[in-house]
Amino acid sequence: MVMASCRMPSASDLAGLDAAVSQSLGRVKDFIEPRLEKALELSPAASPRLLEAMRYVLLAPGKRLRPALVLWASDACYGAENQWENAAAAAVAVEMIHAYSLVHDDLPAMDDDDLRRGRPTCHRAFDEATAILAGDALQALAFETLANQMMAPAWVARGCVVLARAAGAEALVGGQSDDLALERGWIPDISVAPAADQLCWLERIHRRKTGALFLASLQLGGLSAGAQPAGLAKLAAYGHAFGLAFQIADDILDAEGTEASMGKRVGKDAQRGKLTFPTVIGLEASRVRGQSLAREAVAALTEMGDSAGELSRLAEWIVARDH
């Protein structure tokens, strides 16, 4: 049964929820990781060092949330499981775009991070030039994978457009640009503006920088299952709420989490004076906002019934997690 509410779980409830979501994500990993490996079986024309860096990034340990959203959205629209093979190419492609974006975000010219998923970032493990090229290559390979392997040829062009828009100047890249603009002083300092204006700016950034690829993952999963417009609209409503809930939870964990649990440096946003949800509205209000968005995400899928259960559980877990 799809959950109708999204209260903050007790410690015992959270343990059960964490175990259930971990098990479900484990099934996603078992399905997607061999396909990520296969996607990197390139010809001898590929530079060995470049390919090594691509493998280092794409096969790094991770939750595989974006492939999970693709696969579970296909289940929700299909009405049953066993739809995954049709959605596999889209799931691989979105993980490639995500991996490329992390490589570039971590660069010294961007966020200058030296730890990602518990390991040295790509430019630390290799060098800056190789990291840039590995990101470039993964982006190109994502679209090649989608164009060549998406199971329903009628949806290939639309799927490529969905992914391109999510990764482009109006979404992921644009959100990162605006985030840097505020940090680097390219625009007036919004931190002195009223809190409501700061919150609006913050949501505008993260609906693009973080939320757009989540939304694209859901839309691609729906397209892979031949979803009708009404089904795609429900997934979009879920995605809009889920993406922002995820970012709020991430900001809270950056403020309260540990490097060991997060697999990356924490507290860096506060050190840089960056706007985050906790710095703008406070930790408690951030938790309330995240829980409200999770409820909104779950409610968007109510009419889809049990087939959307994995997505509903994920929305509840995403705001209650500690890692």
Q: What would the pLDDT profile of 174-192 be if each residue is shown by its tens digit?
A: 999 999 998 888 888 888 8
Taking alpha carbons only, the member of 170, 141, 167 closest to residue 220 is 167
Return the structure tokens found at 121: 């970032």
The pTM score is 0.92
Find the angle CA(31)-CA(221)-CA(231) to the nearest 5 degrees: 140
CA distance 177 to 168: 11
Q: How many CB atoms lie within 10 A of CB 143?
A: 17
Return the structure tokens found at 243: 């993406």
| C-alpha neighbours within 13 Å on the C-beta side of residue 2 | 20
| AA letter at 128 | E
Q: E-assigned strands of the chain?
A: 115-116, 119-120
CATH number of 11-318: 1.10.600.10
- pLDDT digits 0-9 by tens, 245-286: 999 999 999 888 656 555 556 666 767 668 899 999 999 999
What's the pLDDT at 241? 97
3-state secondary structure of 319: coil
What's the pLDDT at 3? 40
Task: List Cα–Cα distances, 279 to 177, 203, 253, 255, 293, in angstroms.
Answer: 20, 13, 13, 9, 19
Cβ-based neighbours of 48, under 8 Å, separated by 6 or more: none
Q: How many CB atoms lie within 10 A of CB 228?
A: 10
User: Distance between terminal CA atoms of the chain?
Assistant: 26
Q: How many CB atoms lie within 10 A of CB 80?
A: 10
Flag whether pLDDT at 151 surpasses 70: no
CA distance 234 to 226: 14
Q: Where are the domains of the chain?
A: 11-318
